[in-house]
Amino acid sequence: MTASRTGHFRTPWRLALIAVCTFALVLMPAAVTPAQALNLLDKLCEGYSSCMSQGLGDGGYSSANRSSYWRMSPGPNSPNYVAFREIQNGAPADLSYGLGEANGWGTVAAAHGVVVDSTPAVGAVAWFVGSATFGNTGHVAYVEAIDGKKVTVSEGNWDGSFDWRQYYVSDVSGFIHFADVAGSSPFGALEEVSSKTPGVIHVKGWAADPDAPSGPLTVHIHANGQIIGIIANTYRPDLPKALGAGYGNYLGYEADLQFQRTGDVTVCAFAINLGLGSSNTRLGRQTVQVVSPQAFGSLDVATDLGGHRVRVAGWAADANLPAGPLKVSLVANATAVGKVTANVYRPELRKAIGTQYGDHLGFDSVITVPTSGTTRICAYAVNVGPGWSDSALGCKTITISHKLSGPVPTISGTAKAGKRLTCKPGTWAPSGVRLGYQWLRDGKPITGAKEATYKLTKTSVGKRISVKVTGHKASYSDVTRTSAKTGKVKR
- Give the list of residues 6+ apart from residue 255 with CB closer than 8 angstroms, or none: 202, 203, 221, 230
Any idea what the CATH number is for the domain that residue 439 is in?
A: 2.60.40.2700
Please report, to the nearest 10 degrees, the dihedral formed by the alpha carbons of residues 392, 394, 400, 404 taken in order.
Answer: -80
C-alpha–C-alpha distance, residues 374 and 294, integer Å: 30
Lowest mean pLDDT among 127-131, 361-365, 473-477: 473-477
Among residues 383, 386, 390, 389, the alpha carbon closest in space to that of 200 is found at 386
Binning pLDDT at 50, 70 and 90, where does residue 6 land? Answer: very low
Q: How far apart are the first and last CA of the chain?
A: 109
219 belongs to a structural domain:
yes
Are 223 and 251 in the same domain? Answer: yes
414 belongs to a structural domain:
yes
Any idea what the CATH number is for the domain that residue 143 is in?
A: 3.90.1720.10
Are 227 and 342 in the same domain? Answer: no
Domain finish residue from 181, 198, 226: 181
C-alpha–C-alpha distance, residues 87 and 144, integer Å: 15
pLDDT at 325: 95
Are 65 and 121 in the same domain? Answer: yes
Are 195 and 175 in the same domain? Answer: no
pLDDT for residue 23 is more than 70: no
Cβ burial of 389 (10 Å; 0-12, 13-18, 19+) is exposed
pLDDT at 365: 95
pLDDT for residue 381 is more than 90: yes
- For residue 293, which amino acid is it? P
488 belongs to a structural domain:
no
Are 145 and 71 in the same domain? Answer: yes
Are 327 and 475 in the same domain? Answer: no
- For residue 209, which amino acid is it? D
Question: How many domains does the chain divide into?
Answer: 4
pLDDT at 278: 56
How far is CA 384 from each of CA 314, 328, 381, 388, rounded to the nearest angstrom? 18, 11, 9, 10
- For residue 394, which amino acid is it? G
Among residues 403, 421, 419, the alpha carbon closest in space to that of 411 is found at 421
Q: Which one has a higher pLDDT value, 448 or 307?
A: 448
Binning pLDDT at 50, 70 and 90, where does residue 34 land? Answer: very low
3-class secondary-structure state, position 328: strand
Lowest mean pLDDT among 49-63, 308-322, 419-433, 468-482: 49-63
490 belongs to a structural domain:
no
Are 157 and 226 in the same domain? Answer: no
Distance of CA 242 to the CA centre of its chain: 33
82 belongs to a structural domain:
yes
- Nearest-Å Rg of the Cα atoms of the chain is 41
Q: Which one has a higher pLDDT value, 36 or 132?
A: 132
Summarised one tens digit per residue, pLDDT across range 225-254 is: 788 899 999 999 999 888 887 899 999 999
Cβ burial of 160 (10 Å; 0-12, 13-18, 19+) is exposed
Are 340 and 378 in the same domain? Answer: yes
pLDDT for residue 431 is more than 50: yes
Binning pLDDT at 50, 70 and 90, where does residue 277 land? Answer: low
Binning pLDDT at 50, 70 and 90, where does residue 41 land? Answer: low
* Vertex 296 angle, CA 293 and 298, to 5°: 175
C-alpha–C-alpha distance, residues 197 and 322, integer Å: 12
125 belongs to a structural domain:
yes
Lowest mean pLDDT among 128-137, 192-201, 317-326: 128-137
pLDDT for residue 257 is more than 80: yes
pLDDT for residue 9 is more than 70: no
- For residue 357, which amino acid is it? Y
pLDDT at 24: 30
Are 74 and 143 in the same domain? Answer: yes
- For residue 333, which amino acid is it? N
pLDDT for residue 473 is more than 80: yes
pLDDT > 70: percent of the chain: 90
Q: What is the mean pLDDT of the chain?
A: 86
C-alpha–C-alpha distance, residues 483 and 140, integer Å: 99
Are 249 and 311 in the same domain? Answer: no
Are 112 and 73 in the same domain? Answer: yes
The residue range of the domain holding 348 is 296-400
Q: Is the pTM of this model over 0.75?
A: no
Distance of CA 189 to the CA centre of its chain: 24
Binning pLDDT at 50, 70 and 90, where does residue 183 land? Answer: low
Summarised one tens digit per residue, pLDDT across range 299-352 is: 999 999 887 889 999 999 998 899 999 999 999 999 999 999 999 999 999 888
| Mean pLDDT along residues 66-74 | 94
Binning pLDDT at 50, 70 and 90, where does residue 39 land? Answer: low
CB 201 within 8 A of CB 193: yes
Domain finish residue from 270, 290, 310: 290
Domain finish residue from 373, 400, 427: 400
C-alpha–C-alpha distance, residues 308 and 357, integer Å: 34
Among residues 296, 325, 330, the alpha carbon closest in space to that of 313 is found at 330
169: phi then psi, degrees, rounded to nearest 5: -55, -35
491 belongs to a structural domain:
no
118 belongs to a structural domain:
yes
CB 21 within 8 A of CB 13: no
Any idea what the CATH number is for the domain that residue 324 is in?
A: 2.60.40.10
Are 94 and 149 in the same domain? Answer: yes
